């Protein structure tokens, strides 16, 4: 009896395994034909034309496709670059819905759809020998066991931005065969470091399949950061210890499962704003050859060229259903199949430009808002692109990288003029940015440093960028870093300069972790990681970027742990809504903002360009109060200490090692550029304290021993 060919359907897109083969669906509006190209174990290519079309989706049954099958696509259609049509069946293309990719690119004429010497001319060389293969994977083989997402509330979240390879490449507790990989990051030693530090979420630099740039390869460099995506559903193959024939999928899942078991969330830095195919002179790798005019924004009056708000040569056409569907399908895949907990969207403003201008009611934002799969997921925007700055412009359900926090805090601690008023807003959760639209401090992801720019150690050691190793004559990277070398450019043996640098690093970390909002720590800042002054290490897949664990500043590590523990334990230091005045009981969080003489600020005080001192007193019902004294002046300043709301103030933390508080204190001298944090025990009721700190206790009966012990430890 003859086998009956299964009925093909246009959804879902990509490859869906069925009995005897696979159902394959590819969206393209202007193509004339689509071929599925299967490669056997000897590398021979077998082509099957998708023989059905529903709307703009070509689909069909392809026999003999199974888990592990290597494949690509060939798409036939007109070659007419002037009208945005770049079909070229000589080019083997990646399936946009591939869940795994094997191999990389050999750069040369074959991977370009056009003749490199004549961009209007189609190139007829076959690219199959120069491009990677898609790999069919089994979405249901991995055993998730009892995996559960931690679902850490934003108010309790502390983000650690890091890189799969950079974090693990020289980690002493990871076997050398696993360093630089997903499996390496899943090792107990790596996870123990993160949990001991106290962070709650790991934000990974891009792990979507990305492309190694040809121009970097010519210089002997590599794309390290990974902001050059080509596969939105595939984990990057170079980070897999077990091979890239599909093993990378289960290896990434195992990483997520291990992090979840330790209570750590996984947030992915995702790049949906552009792809690695570049501008009109770029290669033809996937979308450009499948449906260029649908997936990319083309210049309306010059459709041979691309509208670019990303600085990479192209921008995805988020005003078109094809691109939007791909992005949304990718997001849902990483949540449902890979169990990730959130996304940080690179150049997110580009995703809101469906008609050119940024729009809070864009189709992309509307689709995310109504999607039940994404509703519980953390959504974090990088709220800018090359065409505009949109901090404060995203919906209430989103958080944003707050670049204003970074800039104002940097200015404050380098003693810039006229910044006291703005930095006070940043410490309070940027109400000037978010409160007008009824958004909370939790919309603000606060950071001092990130992957793009100086590390914290370099921020306090260099006045100028030093990117010579990038091969661009130090012309790349940001020149306005608001940094200070504190007396010498780069490493020095001068003890006074090193003391100032160490104090400044503690000042920055304390300001970050004691401010309202969601703090994000750049991985390695807690250990003094340096990039030698390189503030654009995107192409440095080497010792410049990899963590040097042997050189870790253990004192700074312990200081960071103490700050994180303090923030996580004390509700007064992580408010969920805007802090009100001391007499306003509408929320449990209240604040006093005082001058160094313990008096309130008058309007003229905020306009004083040389004002560099401020005191915050943070209160929370049923929890201890804290006084944060900040002195950004270069000289020591005497502070009048405000009256303690409960027991007398005691010293909690300071960047001044000589700071002492004994008994009742009315004044304190703060060393130049230093902070001091004081605690006043204001609640002796163990039950009230326990409830404020998340413990479940009854109103009667004996308090559980572990709760009493935690209360006693906190109030020693």
How many distinct helices (H) and strands (E) make up the chain? 17, 34
> Hey, how many other C-beta atoms are within 10 angstroms of the C-beta on 533?
27
DSSP at 55: T
Q: Tell me how long the chain is.
A: 716
Nearest-angstrom CA–CA distance, 442 and 516: 8
CA angle 274–279–284, rounded 5-degree value: 85
Q: Buried b / exposed e across 123-148, counting CB within 10 Å, b at 16+? A: beeebbebbbbbbbbeeeebeeeeee
Angle at 123 between CA 119 and CA 129, to 5 degrees: 130
Alpha carbon distance 320, 447 (integer Å):
34
Catalytic residue among 251, 291, 346, 526: 346
Q: Which residues make beta-bridge pairs with 580?
A: 590
- In three-state secondary structure terms, 441 is helix
Tokens of 131: 């491009």
How distant, in Å, are the alpha carbons of 103, 580, 630 from that of 514?
A: 46, 17, 12
**Whether 346 is catalytic:** yes
Report CA 127 to chain centroid distance, whole Å.
Answer: 34
Exactly one of 251, 291, 382, 458 is catalytic; name it.
Answer: 382
> 100-113 in b/e burial notation, b at 16+ Cβ within 10 A?
bbbeebebeebbbb
> Does residue 407 have a cis bond before it (omega within 30 degrees)?
no
Answer yes or no: 652 catalytic.
Answer: no
Question: Each residue of 385-403: b (16+ CB within 10 Å) or e?
Answer: bebeebbbbbbeebbbbbe
Query: Which active-site residues does the annotation give?
Result: 346, 382
């Amino acid at each position: 009896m003859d086998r009956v060919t299964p009925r093909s359907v246009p959804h879902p897109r990509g490859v869906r395994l069925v009995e005897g083969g696979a159902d394959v669906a590819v969206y393209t509006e202007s193509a004339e034909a689509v071929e599925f190209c299967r490669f056997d174990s000897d590398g021979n290519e077998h082509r099957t034309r998708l023989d059905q079309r529903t709307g703009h989706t070509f689909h069909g049954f392809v026999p003999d496709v199974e888990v592990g099958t290597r494949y690509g696509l060939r798409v036939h259609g007109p070659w007419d670059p002037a009208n945005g049509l770049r079909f070229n069946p000589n080019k083997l293309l990646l399936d946009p819905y591939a869940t795994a990719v094997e191999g990389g690119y050999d750069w040369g004429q074959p991977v370009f759809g056009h003749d490199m010497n004549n961009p209007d001319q189609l190139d007829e060389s076959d690219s199959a020998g120069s491009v990677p293969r898609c790999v069919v994977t089994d979405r249901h083989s991995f055993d998730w066991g009892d995996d559960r997402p931690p679902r850490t509330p934003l108010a309790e979240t502390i983000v650690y931005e890091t890189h799969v390879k950079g974090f693990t490449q020289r980690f002493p507790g990871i076997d050398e065969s696993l360093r630089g990989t997903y499996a390496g990051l899943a090792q107990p030693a790596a996870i123990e470091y993160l949990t001991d530090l106290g962070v709650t979420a790991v934000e990974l630099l891009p792990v979507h399949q990305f492309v190694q740039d040809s121009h970097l390869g010519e210089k002997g460099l590599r794309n390290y950061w990974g902001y050059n995506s080509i596969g939105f559903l595939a984990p990057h193959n170079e980070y897999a210890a077990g091979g890239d024939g599909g093993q990378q999928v289960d290896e990434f899942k195992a990483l997520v499962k291990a992090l979840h078991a330790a209570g750590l969330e996984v947030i992915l830095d995702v790049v949906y704003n552009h792809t690695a195919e570049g501008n009109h002179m770029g290669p033809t790798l996937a979308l450009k050859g499948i449906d260029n005019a649908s997936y990319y924004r083309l210049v309306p009056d010059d459709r041979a060229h691309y509208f670019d708000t990303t600085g990479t040569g192209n921008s995805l056409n988020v005003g078109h259903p094809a691109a939007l569907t791909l992005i949304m399908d990718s997001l849902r895949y990483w949540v449902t199949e890979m169990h990730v907990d959130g996304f940080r969207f690179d150049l997110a403003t580009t995703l809101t430009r469906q008609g050119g201008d940024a729009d809070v009611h864009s189709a992309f934002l509307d689709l995310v808002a109504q999607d039940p799969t994404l509703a519980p997921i953390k959504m974090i925007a990088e709220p800018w692109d090359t065409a505009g700055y949109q901090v404060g412009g995203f919906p209430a359900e989103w958080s944003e990288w707050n670049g204003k926090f970074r800039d104002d805090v940097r200015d404050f601690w380098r003693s810039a003029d006229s910044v006291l008023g703005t930095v006070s807003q940043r410490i309070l959760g940027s109400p000037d940015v978010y409160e007008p639209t009824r958004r909370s401090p939790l919309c603000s992801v606060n950071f001092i440093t990130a992957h793009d720019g100086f590390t914290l150690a370099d921020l306090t050691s260099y006045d100028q960028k030093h990117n010579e190793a990038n091969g661009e004559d130090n012309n790349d990277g940001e020149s306005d870093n608001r940094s200070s070398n504190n007396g010498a450019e780069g490493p020095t043996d001068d003890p006074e300069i090193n003391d100032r640098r160490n104090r400044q690093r503690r000042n920055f970390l304390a300001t970050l972790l004691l401010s309202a909002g969601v703090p994000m720590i750049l991985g390695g800042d807690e250990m003094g990681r340096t990039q030698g002054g390189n503030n654009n290490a995107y192409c440095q897949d080497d010792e410049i970027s990899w963590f040097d664990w042997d050189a870790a500043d253990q004192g700074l590590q312990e200081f960071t742990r103490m700050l994180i523990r303090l923030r996580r334990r004390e509700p007064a230091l992580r408010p969920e809504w805007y802090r009100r005045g001391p007499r306003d009981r509408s929320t449990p969080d209240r604040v006093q903002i005082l001058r160094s003489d313990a008096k309130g600020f008058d309007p003229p005080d905020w306009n004083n360009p040389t004002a560099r001192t401020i005191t915050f007193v943070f209160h929370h019902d049923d929890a201890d109060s804290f006084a944060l004294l900040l002195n950004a002046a270069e000289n020591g300043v005497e502070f009048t200490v405000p009256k303690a709301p409960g027991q007398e103030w005691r010293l909690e933390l300071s960047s001044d090692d000589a700071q002492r508080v004994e008994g009742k204190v009315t004044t304190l001298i703060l060393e130049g550029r230093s902070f001091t944090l004081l605690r006043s025990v204001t609640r002796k009721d163990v039950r009230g304290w326990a409830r404020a700190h998340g413990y479940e206790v009854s109103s009667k009966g004996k308090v559980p021993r572990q709760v009493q012990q935690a209360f006693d430890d906190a109030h020693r």
